[in-house]
Amino acid sequence: MSNKLNAVLAVGLIACGLTLVNARYQSRHLFIELERLQQQSRQLDIDWSQLQLDQSTLGKNERIEQIARTQLNMTPLTPARTQYLTEGVR
Amino acid sequence: MKRDKPFTTGRVAASKGMAFSKSPVLAVRLPDWRSRVMLFVLFAAFAALGVRALWLQGMSTQFLQKQGKSRYERTLELPATRGKIMDRNGEVLASSLPVRAVWAIPEDVLQSPPEKITELARLLEMPESDLRKKLDSDRTFVYLKRQVEMDVVAQIEKLKIGGIDTRKEYKRYYPQGEVMTHVVGFTNVEDVGQEGMELAQQKSLVGATGSRRVIKDRLGRIVEDLGLSREPHDGKDLVLSVDSKLQYIAYNSVKNAVEKFNAQAGGAVVLDVQTGEVLAMANYPSYNPNDRRHLTGAQLRNRVITDTFEPGSTIKPVTVALGLETKRITPNTVFDTSPGRMVVTGKTIRDTHNYGVRTVGGIIQKSSNIGVVKISQLIPPQEMWEMYTKLGYGQAPRFGFPGPTAGRVRPWKSWRPIEYANMAFGHGLSVSLLQMARSYMIFARNGDIIPLSFVKVNEKPVGQQVISPQTAAQVRTMLESVVGPEGTASKAQVPGYRVGGKTGTAEKIVNGRYSRTDNIGYFVGIAPMSKPRFIIAVMVDNPRGALRTGGSVAAPTAADLAANALRAANVPPDSSVTDIIIPDEPLEESL
């Protein structure tokens, strides 16, 4: 009787040990994946900052005015040649 | 011993005979003590091992475990990124990007082929002689160049020069450059704010670096996290009150004015009447914060808040407002300003023309010194001093921006009659342009003054009532008349909008005396008058051209600024007048 019990317990113990090994392995894998994704998120943050900067640099009022004046031949608006529409007035 | 076959070999004989080891001849009798000694030595060795094991396990466990851990655990520095600075519409004004500092171990680098060092010098954009000078050092660590951009670093790494390494750091970029720099400021190479909002908000922008402990595998990958020792906190993003469009307009107006009037410098500030936010603050000359190699003090100076001047005529509405508020005068009270000269305790005060008999409104419109002196003579000095204090003159403003000047207002008890008379038209006290602009809040709003802010304001500010809404409205009417064909600021007219304001001209004080040649022209205005939205203040420092007064240099600059600002902010026009009339000889205010 006690021999049988010992055998069962031994098998249980081995199974337990193996699942632990497996769990450990899985957790490391997932952790590496997490680490990789976090790295990616940091890189994306940097890219986003870079793009924001580019947007701000390219959207500089100075540059827009320059292009509007020289390339598109635009002139500033004056109230003298503007028709204002008021909402709700017929 | 039996010998039956005498010719047999010895082996046979041995096998047949007695065993070799049992040969009594060979038998050696060892002394007993030798085995005992051996036994003792063996036991002693085991005991020593046992003691050693006990020692390692029991006594020095901690030390050993620490040593063990240090062989597979690593502490990673987690850098915190400095917060971004944005304008009120979310446009980025300052942002940090990772770059590298390139450093070297000189001895190792010098062993590489010379053409590689030439190439390195080219990539680092420095003369090869400079690079070699840096490498000619006894030290084992030399920074070659800091804040090198990533693509350059990649090229340097491709060269594979021994002894060259990089360290991660951040570089601050300012996309708006010289236009915004007097508001935003800049940081130094160590990421510490040096000027402007970068300096004022250093604490909240900088964040805190963190660290974590991890286990790394053979390939340097992190396989297990042992928990954070310190959480990193990125710096907080800062949203300023500034509007980059208005800032650009203000900067351009100032820049054009300085060039047009051949002036030494200029400054402008635009305030939001409803919230007290500073929408624009521009100075010229300015500098590019991304390249500060040739920075001069004149470029760095934020004239709008650090320079003081005598407010001159721009203070006259304040004198009049106090008179109206205390019911000592009404808008229709008349004063005789003829003959354009007046003597107060032996000193003569002059007007540029003899304006004759004028109402209070006329005195403001024509900017008559004698008129305001006569009004001030009805008001006790103490009340005037209290008014100045309520408006913030003589007090360092607290709006979270470094280096504001307090200006100077002497205590009222020390005012002599002539000094008080001078103060009524803005001489004998000094203010900054920003203080002057803020004090016009009482006219633009309904008599209350609110704190200024360089950071976006989300809740309604609480004001302090200085004059009644009725007085404010009366002064507004007078200010509007100044900006008319008959007033001193006819050049401040803006097509399509009703604007009001007051010009001023102050002689600069050079070596303790009023200079005959150097002056500052300024203008403080409100636009549009029907529903005040902006307070615009402009100063032009030391114009050297033919035009030199506030009315002829600062007023047109303010008009240009206001016209563009109102259009940019989509403010509907409140006047049908689109063709402005500027007289051939505009009226100039007296100094």
Contact B578 A79 (CB under 8 A): yes
Q: Of B390, B456, B397, B459, give the one whose Cα is nearest residue B432.
A: B397
Residues of chain A neighbouring B223 (CB-CB closer than 8 A) = 28, 31-32
pLDDT classification of B584: cutoffs 50, 70, 90: low
Which residues of B carry out catalysis?
313
Q: Is the pLDDT of residue B426 over 50?
A: yes
Which helix (H) or strand (E) is B205 found in, with range?
helix B202-206
Cβ–Cβ < 8 Å for B78, B119 = no
Single-letter amino acid code for the residue at B203: K
- ipTM for the complex? 0.78
Torsion angle in degrees (nearest 10) through CA of B568, B576, B587, B583: 110
CB-nearest partner of B92 from A31, A35, A53: A53
- Bigger pLDDT: B516 vs A55: A55
What is the rounded average pLDDT of the residues B90-111?
87
Single-letter amino acid code for the residue at A22: N
> DSSP letters along B77-132, please?
EEPPPPPPEE-TTS-EEEEEEEEEEEEE-HHHHTTS-HHHHHHHHHHTTS-HHHHH
pLDDT classification of B8: cutoffs 50, 70, 90: very low
pLDDT at B434: 92
Residue B106 CB neighbour total at 10 angstroms: 18
- Bigger pLDDT: A84 vs A23: A23
Alpha-carbon gap: A14 to the closest alpha carbon of chain B (Å): 25
CB-nearest partner of A79 from B173, B221, B573: B573
pLDDT classification of B471: cutoffs 50, 70, 90: very high
pLDDT classification of B2: cutoffs 50, 70, 90: very low
Lowest mean pLDDT among B276-280, B521-525, B573-577: B573-577
Place of tokens 């809040």: B441
Which helix (H) or strand (E) is A21 found in, with range?
helix A2-58
Residues of chain B neighbouring A28 (CB-CB closer than 8 A) = 223-224
Q: Is the pLDDT of residue B1 over 50?
A: no
pLDDT classification of B586: cutoffs 50, 70, 90: low
Q: Of B122, B125, B433, B444, give the one whose Cα is nearest residue B275.
A: B444
Composition of chain B by helix, strand, coil, percent to 5 = 35, 25, 40
Residues of chain B neighbouring A61 (CB-CB closer than 8 A) = 179, 244-245, 248-249
pLDDT classification of B417: cutoffs 50, 70, 90: confident
Give residue limits of the domains in chain B: 77-239, 244-568
CA–CA dist B153, A19 (Å, integer): 46
Q: Is the pLDDT of residue B365 over 60?
A: yes
Q: Which of B169, B174, B176, B560 to mutate to test the interface with A (most CBs of A within 10 A)?
A: B176
Tens digits of residue pLDDT in B490-507: 888 888 889 999 988 888
Cβ–Cβ < 8 Å for B313, B425 = yes
Contact B221 A35 (CB under 8 A): yes
The structure tokens listed for B484 are 């008319």
Contact A56 B91 (CB under 8 A): yes
Which helix (H) or strand (E) is B538 found in, with range?
strand B534-541
Alpha-carbon gap: A64 to the closest alpha carbon of chain B (Å): 11
Residues of chain B neighbouring A57 (CB-CB closer than 8 A) = 175
Overall size of chain A counted in residues:
90
CA–CA dist B435, B303 (Å, integer): 12
Place of tokens 């632990």: A20
Residue of A nearest to B497 (CA): A79
Tens digits of residue pLDDT in B157-187: 888 888 888 888 888 999 988 899 999 999 9
Contact B92 A77 (CB under 8 A): no
- Is A2's Cβ below 8 Å from some Cβ in B? no
CB pairs under 8 A between A and B: 68
Identify the three-state secondary structure at position B56.
helix
Tens digits of residue pLDDT in B121-143: 888 888 888 888 888 877 888 88
Q: What is the CATH number of domain B244-568?
A: 3.40.710.10
Q: β-strand B85-86 against B238-239: which pairing, if any?
A: parallel
- Is A89's Cβ below 8 Å from some Cβ in B? no
Q: Which of B93, B173, B255 to mutate to test the interface with A (most CBs of A within 10 A)?
A: B173
- Is A75's Cβ below 8 Å from some Cβ in B? no
The dihedral sign for the CA sequence B192, B194, B197, B200 = positive
Residues of chain A neighbouring B224 (CB-CB closer than 8 A) = 27-28, 31
The structure tokens listed for B342 are 């007046």
CA angle B253–B504–B463, rounded 5-degree value: 85
Residues of chain A neighbouring B567 (CB-CB closer than 8 A) = 76-77
What is the rounded average pLDDT of the residues B44-49?
96
Q: Is the pLDDT of residue B288 over 50?
A: yes
Mean pLDDT of chain A: 88
Q: What CATH number does domain B77-239 carry, 3.90.1310.10, 3.40.50.2020, 1.25.40.10, 3.30.460.10?
A: 3.90.1310.10
- Is A50's Cβ below 8 Å from some Cβ in B? yes
Residue B295 CB neighbour total at 10 angstroms: 13
Alpha-carbon gap: B579 to the closest alpha carbon of chain A (Å): 8
CA–CA dist B224, B274 (Å, integer): 55
What is the rounded average pLDDT of the residues B70-74?
77
CB-nearest partner of A84 from B177, B573, B579: B573
pLDDT at B590: 57
Which helix (H) or strand (E) is B153 found in, with range?
helix B150-159
The structure tokens listed for B60 are 């020095």
Most confident of A6-20, A69-83, B59-73, B344-358: A6-20
pTM recorded for the entire structure: 0.81
Q: How far is CA B129 from CA A50, B112, B140, in A?
A: 34, 16, 19
Lowest mean pLDDT among A18-22, A59-63, B471-475, B530-534: A59-63
CB-nearest partner of B175 from A60, A77, A79: A60
Give the 3-state secondary structure of B433-482. Answer: HHHHHHHCHHHHCCCEECCCECECCCCCCCCEECCCHHHHHHHHHHHHHH
Residue of B nearest to A48 (CA): B97
Q: Is the pLDDT of residue B366 over 80?
A: yes
CB-nearest partner of A53 from B173, B179, B567: B173
Alpha-carbon gap: B244 to the closest alpha carbon of chain A (Å): 8
Contact A79 B225 (CB under 8 A): no
CB-nearest partner of A84 from B222, B224, B572: B572
Place of tokens 């063709």: B579
Q: Is the pLDDT of residue B55 over 80?
A: yes
CA–CA dist B481, B570 (Å, integer): 25
Mean pLDDT of chain B: 86
What is the rounded average pLDDT of the residues B191-217?
86
Determine phi and psi for B14, rounding to 5 degrees.
-65, -45
Residues of chain B neighbouring A43 (CB-CB closer than 8 A) = none
The DSSP bridge partners found for residue B572 are: none
- Is A77's Cβ below 8 Å from some Cβ in B? yes
pLDDT at B280: 94
Lowest mean pLDDT among A37-51, B68-82, B92-106, B422-436: B68-82
Residues of chain B neighbouring A46 (CB-CB closer than 8 A) = 97-98
Place of tokens 């130094």: B188
- Is A35's Cβ below 8 Å from some Cβ in B? yes
Q: Which of B89, B91, B150, B215 to mutate to test the interface with A (most CBs of A within 10 A)?
A: B91
Cβ–Cβ < 8 Å for B445, B273 = yes
Residue of B nearest to A78 (CA): B495
What is the rounded average pLDDT of the residues B319-329?
92
CA–CA dist B389, B407 (Å, integer): 11
CA–CA dist B475, B481 (Å, integer): 10
The structure tokens listed for B554 are 């600062």
CA–CA dist B464, B533 (Å, integer): 19
Identify the three-state secondary structure at position B409.
coil
CB-nearest partner of B495 from A60, A80, A86: A80
What is the rounded average pLDDT of the residues A57-64?
88
Contact A56 B175 (CB under 8 A): yes
- Is A29's Cβ below 8 Å from some Cβ in B? no
Phi-psi region of B400 (alpha: psi -120 to 50; beta: other; left: phi over 0): left
Q: Is the pLDDT of residue B10 over 80?
A: no
Residues of chain B neighbouring A52 (CB-CB closer than 8 A) = 84, 92, 95
The structure tokens listed for B429 are 């006290």
Which helix (H) or strand (E) is B358 found in, with range?
strand B357-359
CA–CA dist B276, B271 (Å, integer): 6
What is the rounded average pLDDT of the residues B407-429?
88
Tens digits of residue pLDDT in B218-256: 777 777 777 767 788 888 999 999 999 999 999 999 999
Residues of chain A neighbouring B578 (CB-CB closer than 8 A) = 78-80
